[in-house]
Amino acid sequence: MLRYDTRRAFSFRWLYLGSFCIVILACISRLDVIREVWETVELLEPGWTMSFVIETLCGEILLFILPVLSTLPFSSSFIDEWKAGMTRQAVSRIEKRTYLRSKAIVTALSGGFILSVGSLCLLIVSMVVFLPIEQSVTDTVMDNKPVQSYIALFARYFVCGALWAETGLFFSTLFNHRFLAWLSPFMIYYLLIIFHERYFEWCFVLYPKEWLIPERQWGFDNWSICLWLLALTALAGWGFIKVGERRLASV
């Protein structure tokens, strides 16, 4: 990974943006629940906060925005540098393949980073707000299943972000269009949903909602979803490197 890529992709503004967008959208999507909690005088059931976070992270509004949000930090990086003429300067100092590989890896990491940091921020905010009004777990048996579910969801958020960011990078490079870096993951997301919901219901491995909210058995206690998404991310990254090499051939 090149240092100037990591410095741009992991700057604090993306951290703030990811956290802010996910927390705000989560609040908007669960406004009725929050109002209900606000109006009630009784303490919440033990484990309520964790299930609230998990349900919110699997909500329609967040699923809708994730493909776009993950592309914001770095998906348009190659096309931006290419159009600004910076690529020529970069490939005169480093190998083309190293340059492209760095872009592919950093884009995937940045996409995963923005979503996972956002989900973590939602957890922290929810704990600060709701945990004080939740019943204590001292008199009941501590159930750590929601914590495990959250950790699994956190990992799936990370790989989903990586996949969508990499998809944006691939399509923007393929069509030489900056706009597609943000729009293509959104379009692919919906085309895959259409593919599954209207035509091939048996093909659940290509159903984006199944990746985040698995309803079928995926093996290894659903951890194989992460492996599958990593394989898809690697495929998109490989595609980007091939297209990028073709584009850089004349430089």
Partner 1 sequence: MFKKLRMVMEAAFYNFRFWKGNARIMAVFILSFILCFLLTDKIVVFAKAHETTMQLMEAFIWTFGDSNSILLSSLLLLLLYADMPFITGATPFFLVRASRKTWVLGQLVYIILSTGIYLLFTLISTCLLCAPYSFTKNIWSQTAAILAYSEEGKALVLPASVKTLEMSRPYQSMMSIFMLMMLYVLTMVFIMMVFNIWKGTVAGVLSVLVFSSYGVLLNPEHLQKLLKLPEEFYYKAKVFIGWISPLNHATYYMHNFGYDKLPTLRQTVFIFIGSIVFLTLLTMRVTKKFSFVFRGTES
> What is the binding site for partner 1 (CB under 8 A)?
175-177, 179-180, 183, 187, 190-191, 193-194, 198-199
State in angstroms the smallest separation of the CB of 183 from partner 1: 6
* Nearer to partner 1 among residue 175 and residue 204 (C-beta): 175
* Nearer to partner 1 among residue 152 and residue 183 (C-beta): 183
* Nearer to partner 1 among residue 22 and residue 181 (C-beta): 181
State in angstroms the smallest separation of the CB of 40 from partner 1: 29
State in angstroms the smallest separation of the CB of 174 from partner 1: 9
* Nearer to partner 1 among residue 101 and residue 177 (C-beta): 177
State in angstroms the smallest separation of the CB of 180 from partner 1: 5
> What CA–CA distance (Å, rounded) separates 47 from 61?
23
* Nearer to partner 1 among residue 193 and residue 213 (C-beta): 193
* Nearer to partner 1 among residue 104 and residue 181 (C-beta): 181
State in angstroms the smallest separation of the CB of 199 from partner 1: 7
State in angstroms the smallest separation of the CB of 71 from partner 1: 14
Residues in the chain: 251
State in angstroms the smallest separation of the CB of 171 from partner 1: 8
* Nearer to partner 1 among residue 112 and residue 168 (C-beta): 168
> What CA–CA distance (Å, rounded) separates 232 from 214?
17
> What CA–CA distance (Å, rounded) separates 97 from 160?
25
> What CA–CA distance (Å, rounded) separates 36 from 40?
6
Q: Which residues of 202-214 are buried (b: 16+ CB within 10 A; e: fewer)?
A: eeeeebbbbbbbb
